[in-house]
Structure 1
Amino acid sequence: MKLLEGRLFNVSNRLPVEIKFRAGHPRLNPAAGGLASALDSIWRHHHGVWIGWAGAVDAETAATLLQKAARGRSYGLKAISLSQQEVSKFYSGFANEIIWPLFHDMPSRCDFDPEYWEFYQRVNRKFAQSAMESATSKDLIWAHDYHLMLMGRYLREAGCTARVGFFLHIPFPAPDIFEKLPWRKSILRSLLQYHLLGFQTERDRYNFLSCLERIVPEASWAREESHNIVTMDNRRTRVATFPISISFEEFAGHAASRDVEALSTQLRRELTNNFIVLGVDRMDYTKGIPERLKAFRILLRRFPELRHKVTLLQVVVPSREEIPNYKELRREVELLVSQINGEFTEAGWVPIHYMHRNLTRKQLLAYYRTADIALVTSLKDGMNLVAKEFCAAQVDERGVVVI
């Protein structure tokens, strides 16, 4: 069902594909992360353009490869060109060394470098300009996540006549945490330049409104049915909760395929039919991976009768490897895996099977179907899609997810 009169302009930090160099030649690869899969179903009913960064490649090469990648899709792909310095200070810096830890209630991990803020503004302006080049008053510009909280402000300043919305995929912190951000008022006022603001949970929406009360007292808000209307400078912004999900039926259908079933059977046979506990996570300190490994070590120490019977299959997807905190986390995780395997491994049994790489959809589904239990141990999360994917993949209703 078509819901828009015009086109949808989907704007996110990254495109659903990225360009990487292999043997000196640029190649298209599916982008890692849950945003692309979460938004895939939206495009079945709309046409438009997806705007984002495609990787460190020149504009001409990006345009040629993205034109090829867009074949068979209902939308085009448009790349934002970012310098190495912009990627470092906007993405690695402001977005992931300030906003990401702060919004996950970990302010001690923040690096409030003022230069990061300058680049965050500059890059948000770039994204706004790119959307403005093609959008008309009939179109909808939909910005995604914590990378683009200022984009609405720059669209307004440029005289944008399209409707503009924003969805935050991660938690929004309570006022006591958010107030630690030096640029808190500018960000809140910029978010109010969007026509619609979407959050994952009621708690996130409540935290946002609480921050407005304390930091932007000139803004007023009222409850209207299932949403809030915030008024500031004679402008109204609708604030609502939209929990994100996956295409359950499609995911379950792929999981039931013969190829996935055959691979799952092979995996279980290779793991000697042990009881399988599965973890699938990005390499991120919010996911609780070291805590999970330590808990598994305690389990094996307290209940030695479980040795040879249970295996932890831990898949870790590489993420933000250029950021020091993430490099340290990988060292910690891999040291723990080595220590636990060194302590408990016996002939014919290794307690932890650890993989640090991206999986294909077929491989991921096979691991979901193989596992008896999926462990989701996030310390703080927006909406963890692994739990939903695991449930959808249980075509025989055998596996259990523990959150």
Structure 2
Amino acid sequence: MSRLIIVSNRVAPISEGGPAAGGLAVGVYDALKETGGMWFGWSGDVLGSGQPEIRLEERGPVTFATVGLVRRDYDQYYRGFSNATLWPAFHYRPDLLQFDRHDFEGYCRVNTWLAQQLVPLLRDDDVIWVHDYHLIPFAQALRTAGVKNRIGFFLHIPFPAPQVLLAVPPHRALVEALCSFDLLGFQTKPDLRAFCDYIVNEASGSVDTSAQGPSIVHAFGRTLRAAAYPIGVYPDEIAELAKAGEHDKPVRTIEATLHARKLIMSVDRLDYSKGLVERFRAFERLLEHAPAYRDKVSFLQIAPPTRSDLHAYQEIRLQLEGESGRINGRFAELDWTPIRYIHRQYERPVLAALFRTAHVGYVTPLRDGMNLVAKEYVSAQDPEDPGVLVLSRFAGAAHELTGALIVNPVDVDGMADALGTALSMPLAERKARYEDMIAQLRENNVSVWRDNFMRDLQQVSGDEERVANEAATG
């Protein structure tokens, strides 16, 4: 049986009870530990000097192969092009985009170097699955090194409309590099359409959607496949985590200090794409326009730090601290703090138990590839007394979780209205919405995401071999 080789920018130090990791890390590890194989990527270490060396670690059926980055590579590849150029552009924030030609050169150089580190570890029948925007040129680098294995790519963040992508100066080189993969996976059909629109209108390519399965893309002298594969979670596992964490101190503290108040809860990395400021202001608008909720509801925002050495992230932290302080100063009582803003990580069972405690899950990114927090919130609910999910229409999860209250994250009044609706929703309606969403989550869990992608990647290989054989026989 072929090994699965996962390649991602960061190989996360995941443990079953450890700090909650991002959607990519949880989804990838849950997929990989079932099949066995290797997870290859950056260790997270930034070296001041010396040549980075690969470290191999066996954990059950999974081999973790990690390597550090020297400071220049970290600055240009990660801080620079990946997160100062691609991240804002792909999240529809070209106004925040910063581009430096040397950063792009570093981005390509590190992708080539990482590919060269992986090549000696590969076997002929390995299937390689590359993840996310940091590694767009990775297949191109492997092909240059002579690797003929099947290579798939999954983009965890949105793919922007062509007119937005054009704001990235080397946009054509990026899309050409994507076409070196055999199969491209996107979170949603709108992301897939955006990619196909670029191929047709900017790259003079073609897209065939007539057949069953993934679209067939012809561009830059290559034929590849592309489709949407919405990433999922294991809802029953999350429900068990919620039960396991209900006696942990943070959960008991929240329950004890709520004093029968209802709880609205959000969990996000501290990032400008998450709509945090708008979310705070919508909660303020709820308290302003519906004074009956004052001292009857608390809002818990957990926002772990991320990319704290980037200026844009320092700004959003200061802005949120200012907003929470202003709103609390306006409405707080001696025994009631409206917003509890916490800037730290919690372990997965604690988060799941807090989700189960919360009457409202408040997930309103300005733009998000999927947003697994929305799915985890629903999964953690008590089926007999579930909470209500308020969800941005610009999260990929909104295409599946139709039982949520769908909002526009820039419409502060609309979000405030949705919070009021969620807080007052009758039990029968809450249960009906929950049952609809949990059925969807069970039907499309993370194993389905993995299996669908791997099935189509295997089929791509078969298609290419058949075409080659037909050409050889005339």
216, 221, 238: which one aligns with 1:251:
238
CA distance in 2, matches of 1:194, 1:376: 33
SS at match of 2:272: coil
Deviation string for 1:218-277 (max 9, x for gaps)?
x332122132111246532111110001111211122233x4256545521222121100
Aligned-pair CA distance for 1:163: 0.8
Aligned-pair CA distance for 1:387: 0.6
CA distance in 2, matches of 1:44, 1:85: 33
CA distance in 1, matches of 2:130, 2:53: 21
Matches within 5 A, 1:310-329: 310-329=297-316
Cα pair 1:16 1:30 within 8 Å, conserved: no
Specify the alignment match of 1:10 in structure 2: 6
SS at match of 1:81: strand
Q: Which amino acid aligns with 2:389?
A: V
Specify the alignment match of 2:388 in structure 1: 400
CA RMSD of aligned residues (A): 2.0
Specify the alignment match of 1:175 in structure 2: 162
Change (3 A) 1:57 1:120: closer
Change (3 A) 1:352 1:62: farther
Specify the alignment match of 2:452 in structure 1: none
**Identity level (%):** 38
TM-score (norm 2): 0.77
Cα pair 2:268 2:304 within 8 Å, conserved: yes
241, 246, 260: which one aligns with 1:260:
246
Specify the alignment match of 1:340 in structure 2: 327
CA distance in 1, matches of 2:378, 2:148: 42
5+ residue gaps, structure 1: 19-28
Specify the alignment match of 2:279 in structure 1: 292
CA distance in 1, matches of 2:123, 2:248: 49
Cα pair 1:255 1:261 within 8 Å, conserved: no
186, 189, 193: which one aligns with 2:176:
189
CA distance in 2, matches of 1:120, 1:60: 18
Higher alpha-carbon deviation: 306-315 or 9-18: 9-18
SS at match of 2:44: coil
Aligned-pair CA distance for 1:131: 2.2
Specify the alignment match of 2:207 in structure 1: 221
79, 97, 102: which one aligns with 1:115:
102
Specify the alignment match of 2:262 in structure 1: 275
Aligned positions, number: 383
Cα pair 2:19 2:348 within 8 Å, conserved: no
Higher alpha-carbon deviation: 319-328 or 292-301: 292-301
SS at match of 1:55: strand
Matches within 5 A, 1:375-386: 375-386=362-373
Specify the alignment match of 2:38 in structure 1: 49
Specify the alignment match of 1:25 in structure 2: none
Deviation string for 1:340-362 (max 9, x for gaps)?
11111112111111100011112
Confirm whether residue 40 of structure 1 aligns to residue 29 of structure 2.
Answer: yes
CA distance in 2, matches of 1:374, 1:30: 20
5+ residue gaps, structure 2: 392-474
Higher alpha-carbon deviation: 232-241 or 206-215: 232-241
Cα pair 1:268 1:274 within 8 Å, conserved: no
TM-score (norm 1): 0.90
